[in-house]
Structure 1
Amino acid sequence: MLSWFDDLLSWMPNSALSDWSELLPQQLRQLLVDHQHGDVPRWLDALATLPTIDAVTADLTDAELVLSSPHVSKEQAQQLEQGLRGLMPWRKGPFRFFDTAIDTEWRSDWKWQRVAPHLAPLNGRLVLDVGCGSGYHIWRMLGEGAERVIGVDPSRLFMMQFQAYKRYLQAANGRVNADLLPLKMEDVPAGLKGFDTVFSMGVLYHRKSPIDHLQELKDALRPGGELVLETLVIDGGLGECLMPEDRYAMMRNVWFIPSVETLLLWCRRVGLSNARLGDLNRTSLDEQRSTDWMRFNSLADFLDADDRSITAEGYPAPLRAVIVANA
């Protein structure tokens, strides 16, 4: 697994992220060798099941991130689906691996449609995607012209799903300037000031100290760089914020859900400039749901059965905002 990051590690010393270049190999070795996740052998077996396919093409602008080839046999298609199902559950997508469509729990393409119109052009930019999941949005960022995208997410399963897609994208395009590191944002060295754009989507409300998270994101940006936040908010005015008693929508690790005005104030307090609301959207049962590729409970189970405007605990149902600001 360490070899997956050879290209990134060779690029990093002469880049804007040179201050990270000596530490990262130690971090990867500790996580992937010294403290290996117990399911890793099973997931690696699933990856090994994926067949080699010739004449691959890819479309990183398509909502399904379609991989295509005229040379996929029936046997290869069966091997492919077997391997991909060995990496279940698939939460972020959708993806289409040749004739195999992965209907993920989240329609992450809908989120991208809400976020993309508010971005500075990504052409030629160095991008960090915090809490990137399986990497769906990483691929969309590359499709928008980003020079290199680095995602961080501590889930080893997401890293395996990312590698499944990257393997075929490399077959199509050769070198692929995208990596998913099995790290948390706290593992990214403080004060890098190296990224042109930083995304944090679906992370802020999981942090016990949202102000610290915003500061970490700001400090990862070069001066003038762009921060893109996508997070839960509540209806309300300046200073209002929900702190759940225990769970929120069945999630234990939800700490603070601010109003939009409160979130914009938090951004200003950490020194971000021009913080503005890009989009506001109530999560629908069509955007997050159980599927054949994610068979556990989903949003329908997390809301009140008789009143879909509130969660099972009686809090306002998920409302998500896109906030854009600059370092």
Structure 2
Amino acid sequence: MTDYLDIYKDEIDCDAIRELRKEPTRIMNSKGNKPLLELIEQLPALKFEDNDFTKKAVRFGQKEDLTESQRTELKEQLKQLIPWRKGPFDIAGIEMDTEWRSDYKWDMLEGYLPDMKGQRICDIGANSGYYMYRMLADEPEFILGLDPTVKYFLQFQALQKLTAENCLHYDAFGMEHLTHFPKFFDTIFCMGILYHHPDPVGMLRIMNQSMRSGGDIIIESQAIPGDDHVALFPDDTYALVKGTYFVPTANCLINWLKKAKFVDIEFFHSHPMSSNDQRKTEWMPFRSYEDFVNEETGLTVEGYPAPIRIYLRAKKKA
């Protein structure tokens, strides 16, 4: 696949991006990750043509594309990349039931998504790339996934070996590196990630600056219930997750978007979290929602209000 730096070399800071790539490459080639990198190289390049990105479980190929022994071998290879958190996927009959039912979140966005045909899109916190594959159904020009977690980058690389050539690209960067893409994206997705940054308003400003005039931002976030314009700032962990900084109310997040110069802000959905949409599975056998939150008391294990999920969209001023 052609490196997107060669396609958009006159519009983005290619030298800075190439420099940023050195650290994830070093991490992937380190002793601990080298076996996983070798696993990706050993995966068969199946490049299925018959895919369906409109289904709740993104489908690569058909069951008859693999023999039972091939399917068993491929499943064992993919399970070496656990935890698989965002999905689900159907890989030639392999049902990958991930920790998150990300299709539930995607369903919440239906009716609120912009027309993405021919657009340049960024998926921040892309994880395995589930949402990126769902976007393909709209025929965008270019989709870039950003996520600094090397394991998720490798999961995406594994999935890309299973499907025909597409417009998806991925770098193991954080959202702060959007500074290298000035006025570049038509649409940004920020799904389940903003509360993991100590400066959410600063990050929203960076996103705004990386967007074209009139562009759209779609945000899905963990939040706390209530109408006050406040955010919870947990002590050490929130629902046993380190690296959680500000957990806002919907009104607080709306104010953040205003301060980041977004307009036409719409808060269009919220729902309580539960073990129906985040749970242990064969593909993510570690602790999950039921271990973090007491669903009877409505409190996290630390005693904080249990999280809800909120959905908003906004625009960069034209």
Normalising by the smaller structure, the TM-score range is: over 0.9
Aligned: 1:119 with 2:113: yes
Q: How does 1:34-183 map to 2 (within 5 A)?
A: 36-53=29-46, 56-69=49-62, 70-170=64-164, 175-183=165-173
Aligned: 1:26 with 2:15: no
Q: How does 1:151-230 map to 2 (within 5 A)?
A: 151-170=145-164, 175-189=165-179, 192-230=182-220
Give the 3-state SS of the residue equivalent to 2:3 in structure 1. Answer: helix
TM-score (norm 1): 0.90
Q: Kindly provide the amino acid, as one letter, of the partner of residue 74 in structure 2.
A: L
After superposition, give the CA deviation of every residue in 1:283-324 in whole Å (9 maximum; x if it has no partner). 1211000001111000000012752x1111111111011110
Give the 3-state SS of the residue equivalent to 2:83 in structure 1. Answer: coil
Q: Which stretch of the first structure deviates more once superposed, 23-32 or 212-221? A: 23-32
**How many Å apart are 1:37 and its aligned residue?**
4.4
Distance in 1, Cα, partners of 2:287 & 2:300:
14
Distance in 2, Cα, partners of 1:44 & 1:157:
10
**Measured at CA, do residues 41 and 34 of structure 1 come closer, stay the same or move farther in structure 2, by a change above 3 Å?**
closer
Aligned: 1:292 with 2:286: no
Question: Do the aligned partners of 1:46 and 1:87 also contact (CA within 8 Å) in 2?
Answer: no
Aligned to 1:314: 303
Name stretches of at least 5 consecutive residues in structure 1 with no aligned partner. Answer: none
Give the 3-state SS of the residue equivalent to 1:139 in structure 2. Answer: helix
Q: Which stretch of the first structure deviates more once superposed, 19-28 or 56-65? A: 19-28
**How many Å apart are 1:113 and its aligned residue?**
0.6
**How many Å apart are 1:45 and its aligned residue?**
2.9
**Measured at CA, do residues 282 and 34 of structure 1 come closer, stay the same or move farther in structure 2, by a change above 3 Å?**
closer
After superposition, give the CA deviation of every residue in 1:136-159 in whole Å (9 maximum; x if it has no partner). 001111122222100100111111
Q: Kindly provide the amino acid, as one letter, of the partner of residue 235 in structure 1.
A: P
**Measured at CA, do residues 225 and 52 of structure 1 come closer, stay the same or move farther in structure 2, by a change above 3 Å?**
closer
Distance in 2, Cα, partners of 1:159 & 1:191:
20
Root-mean-square deviation over aligned CA pairs: 1.9
Distance in 1, Cα, partners of 2:310 & 2:279:
20
**How many Å apart are 1:61 and its aligned residue?**
0.9
Question: Do the aligned partners of 1:283 and 1:318 also contact (CA within 8 Å) in 2?
Answer: yes
Distance in 2, Cα, partners of 1:286 & 1:37:
37
**How many Å apart are 1:55 and its aligned residue?**
5.8
**How many Å apart are 1:187 and its aligned residue?**
2.2
**How many Å apart are 1:52 and its aligned residue?**
4.4
**Measured at CA, do residues 224 and 95 of structure 1 come closer, stay the same or move farther in structure 2, by a change above 3 Å?**
same
TM-score (norm 2): 0.93
Question: Do the aligned partners of 1:156 and 1:182 also contact (CA within 8 Å) in 2?
Answer: yes
After superposition, give the CA deviation of every residue in 1:259-281 in whole Å (9 maximum; x if it has no partner). 11121111112211011102111
Aligned to 2:264: 274
After superposition, give the CA deviation of every residue in 1:201-231 in whole Å (9 maximum; x if it has no partner). 1111111111111111111111110011111
Give the 3-state SS of the residue equivalent to 1:168 in structure 2. Answer: coil
Question: Do the aligned partners of 1:198 and 1:220 also contact (CA within 8 Å) in 2?
Answer: no
Question: Do the aligned partners of 2:280 and 2:287 also contact (CA within 8 Å) in 1?
Answer: yes
Question: Do the aligned partners of 2:178 and 2:207 also contact (CA within 8 Å) in 1?
Answer: no
Distance in 2, Cα, partners of 1:273 & 1:26:
34
Give the 3-state SS of the residue equivalent to 2:162 in structure 1. Answer: helix
Q: Kindly provide the amino acid, as one letter, of the partner of residue 243 in structure 1.
A: F
